Structure 1
Amino acid sequence: MKKQELIHLHGLLAQVQNHYERETGDEVEHDEYETLGVKPTSIHKSKTDHKAAVSAIATGITSEMTADEKEPVSAAAD
């Protein structure tokens, strides 16, 4: 994946996090993400930095969504 694509994905995940927090009222735990200090607007940071940030924010979002899940979602279509 190119650096520009990682930055774009990083921005999209940040929007997903913001939307999730707004809709649920739950704050996503993102200590690892904050420690990295890489934001989607940090275009001067390296590709490796953005890759780590994407991984950290995605992990934070999925962990919060998994913990928030009340009942399993059926694998079958309606």
Structure 2
Amino acid sequence: MKKQELIHLHGLLAEVCNHYEQMADCEVEHQKYSELGVRPTSIHKSKTDHKAAVFALADGITEGMEQETETAVSATAD
């Protein structure tokens, strides 16, 4: 994957994260992502930095979704 494509993916994933936080009314864990200091607009950062940021952001989103699905769902019918 080219750097430009990775930056684009990084931006899309950041938008998915923002949308998920609004829709699920929760906060995605951003600690690992924040520590990297790489944002989609950080075009001067290396391809490797953006790749690490994409993986950290994806991990945060999936962990948030896993926690959401682990909550018990009522067995009653509507």
TM-score range, shorter chain: 0.7 to 0.9
| Moved segments of 4+, more than 6 Å | none
Unaligned stretches of 5+ residues in structure 1:
72-78
Q: TM-score, length-normalised on structure 1?
A: 0.87
Unaligned stretches of 5+ residues in structure 2:
73-78
Match of 2:67 in 1: 67
Q: TM-score, length-normalised on structure 2?
A: 0.87
Q: CA RMSD in A?
A: 1.0
Q: How many residues get paired?
A: 71
Structure possessing the higher radius of gyration over alpha carbons: 2
Percent identity between the two aligned chains: 68
Letter aligned with residue 25 of structure 2: G
Q: CA deviation at 1:9?
A: 0.4
Letter aligned with residue 53 of structure 2: A
Letter aligned with residue 43 of structure 2: I
